[in-house]
Amino acid sequence: QVQLLESGGGLVQAGGSLRLSCAASGTIFGISDVGWYRQAPGKQRELVAAIRSRGSTNYADSVMGRFTIFRSNTNNTMYLQMNTLKPEDSAVYYCNFHRAGWYDYWGQGTQVTVSS
């Protein structure tokens, strides 16, 4: 059973940076699409950043230019570098490893709180 272990969340002042990490405790077979999602109070879950196995990436407009997603296939770890954080970035962030028809793994969530 694969578990995704998230870390890196916390409280940070506006303008600061955080790096979220997501590591699989078990073997993830094949090359997966990976992504970070977040859900803020009163809002639906949204895709923040993703990178597909073919290499293409996409970001939510709200984080474009500030966030960067990284992937390490060799150790089944991925990251979300978040710079110039804003209070509206506050949310629970979830990582996801997805391979269509094979698996869809989610992290437990990590809280990111950005103070003004």
Q: What are the structure tokens assigned to 110, written together? A: 């990590």
The helix/strand/coil state of 24 is strand
Considering Cα of 115, then 107, then 46, then 21, what sign does the dihedral take? positive
pLDDT at 79: 95
Q: Do the Cβ atoms of 24 and 106 come closer than 8 Å? A: no
pLDDT at 73: 65
**Which residue type is seen at 104?**
D
pLDDT at 13: 98
Q: Do the Cβ atoms of 38 and 94 come closer than 8 Å? A: yes
Q: Do the Cβ atoms of 48 and 67 come closer than 8 Å? A: yes
pLDDT at 2: 86
